[in-house]
Amino acid sequence: YSARAYLAKAAWSPAIESGRKAYDLAPAGQDVVPVFAEALAGGGRDALARGQYAEAVSRLGEYVRLKPADAHGYLDLGRAYLASGRYSDALGTVLQGLGRAGDAKVRQELTATLLEGGRQALGQGDLQSGIGFLREYVQRDPSGVSAYLDLGKAYWQSGRQAEALSAFRRVLELQPGNQQALRFLLGPPGR
């Protein structure tokens, strides 16, 4: 009951503490898991919004362990990992969420997070992580011209020219005459 009262006030830390005590005492008790889970999810999202990424990862990770079938929890945890720059963890978490997502809206958000993660990793100079995210993204959205362009450029920068050229060819299949793809195919930088 105290956890519910704290939830009503959005007092996340005391709600989590009370929820954890209730869970430790009676894990099968009526409403114990849903209330504790709500406190963890709310506290994790709040920590993420405040830029407290380690706290967000901790709370949302605990939420996912408590509610492993909730794809939205994986989405939130993946975003927390992305915000903290933990790209490998983010990618694995988002993929786990996609494996559990039955709801089309959550699947769409998870897929968009793959693109966001790829671009973020590339922006931080992490080519391998960026490539990993973007490869997963184009598997799910094979019509994403800009994603194929980003993927091609990342392959090119990492010295994987054959894969880069394949990505640029796919861009031209989707958007004939794309100038960026043509530049790489006809006279790539560094030739």
Q: Within a 13 Å sphere around the CA of 58, how many CA atoms are in the beta-carbon half?
A: 8
Q: pLDDT tens across 94-145, in order?
A: 999 999 998 999 999 999 999 999 999 999 999 999 999 999 999 999 999 9
Q: How far is it, in rounded angstroms, from Cα 6 to Cα 132?
A: 41
Q: What is the 3-state secondary structure (H, E, C) of 85-149?
A: CCHHHHHHHHHHHHHHCCCHHHHHHHHHHHHHHHHHHHHCCCHHHHHHHHHHHHHHCCCCHHHHH
* Whole-number average pLDDT of the chain: 94
The C-alpha atoms of residue 163 and residue 62 are separated, in whole angstroms, by 39
Give pLDDT tens digits for 43-89: 999 999 999 999 999 999 999 999 999 999 999 999 999 999 999 99
* Beta-carbon contacts of residue 57 (< 8 Å; ≥ 6 apart): 44, 77, 80, 81, 84, 86
3-state secondary structure of 52: coil
Would you mind telling me the total number of residues written for the chain in this entry? 191
